[in-house]
Amino acid sequence: MRTITLIPGDGIGPSVVEAAVRVVEATGVKINWDRVEAGMSALESSGHLLPARTINSIKKNRIALKGPLATPIGEGFSSVNVQLRKVFDLYMNFRPVKSFPGISPFKNVNILVFRENIEDFYAGEPQYVDIENTVAELTGTISYRNSYRFFYRAFNLARANKRRKITVGHKANIFKMYHGLFLDAARDVASQFPEIELREEIIDALCMKLVTDPTKFDCVAAPNVFGDILSDLCAGLVGGLGIAPGANYGDSTGIFEAVHGSAPDIEGKNVANPTAVILSAAMMLEHVGEVDAAYLIRSAIERIIEDKKFLTVELNPEGVGTIEMTDAIVEKVSSMQELRKRLSGVGRN
């Protein structure tokens, strides 16, 4: 039995993570969940946003499923998500976005979004440069080494998913050395994957083309800041963050998460959409080799969304609660699992 770190998170986190746990268990995959805390819940119980117990659990298990985390507003507190990326060297954020009939603004969208995750301006230290604190500066860093390993992973994921094209968003026409270095790494890696076409698009033009006809894109990759923006833009193309799963990869660690926030305003109201974190759990299962279970979950969600009867209010104004939608997905996974067992026994003596 595999042990996986489970971080329920803040706000709606515990309810949607529990939904994901129930769905995973319905597939029959045996997992020992090591439950730990991070974010505001951890701060209240231990005085730390990211306790040592949580770090040690992830180090030991190498795989984690987590809910959305909140960070208190004010000086002295850095983002827990950023801390996790630094501690575990999670240099890639991977967000697949796929349209669902009936709820997505665009049809036939199926894009893999690759975001560099630990460099760029997000890794810089902002500071005021005048006595009156009226001028601030922030320095970003992009390295060839990190960009190279980011693209190497991106191209391997594209190959594993039978993709044929990666479009890199950049601003190398202005940031000539900064994004130029990022593109150099992309070109060098692309030369090792002749079956995958590398395309380069200036970021503003790329955004315009994505919202004009996203079906023309296969995979999209970008530096950290632009990648953050692009990943949310692409989620909007298929219906929003509530149906967008995500993963953070390092060389030895994977942390899987819904990309939406903790939504404290709807905490405890049984209205949160659990789809994103359940799909993130499916990504996690695929990552650890449970491909059939991941397929079951995705197929069940597609059928539940197509039916529209058991969707939360985010997806259907006349919808049901978080628990009721989870019940429907669990039932669908279980019935599909049972059907597969029966069919696999047909013709056997």
Cα distance between residue 185 and residue 91, in whole Å? 14
Q: In what order do the strands lie in the sheet with 245-249?
A: 31-35, 2-7, 63-66, 254-258, 245-249, 92-98, 110-116, 219-222, 165-170, 197-202
State the catalytic residue, choosing from 120, 218, 228, 332.
228
Cα distance between residue 256 and residue 127, in whole Å? 32
Cα distance between residue 235 and residue 226, in whole Å? 14
Is 51 buried (19+), middle (13-18) or exposed (0-12) by CB count in 10 A? middle
Active site includes 122? yes
**Mutual angle of helices 291-307 and 322-345, in 10-degree steps:** 120
State the catalytic residue, choosing from 10, 98, 120, 122.
122
Active site includes 144? no
State the catalytic residue, choosing from 59, 60, 204, 341.
204
Q: Residue 156: what residue type? A: N
State the catalytic residue, choosing from 10, 171, 249, 332.
171
Residue with tokens 């117990």: 53
Residues 6+ apart with CB under 8 A from 207: 169, 229, 230, 233
Q: Let me know the angle formed at the C-alpha of 277 by 273 and 278, rounded to the nearest 5 degrees.
A: 90
Active site includes 10? no
Task: Return the DSSP state at 276.
Answer: H
Catalytically annotated residues: 122, 171, 204, 228
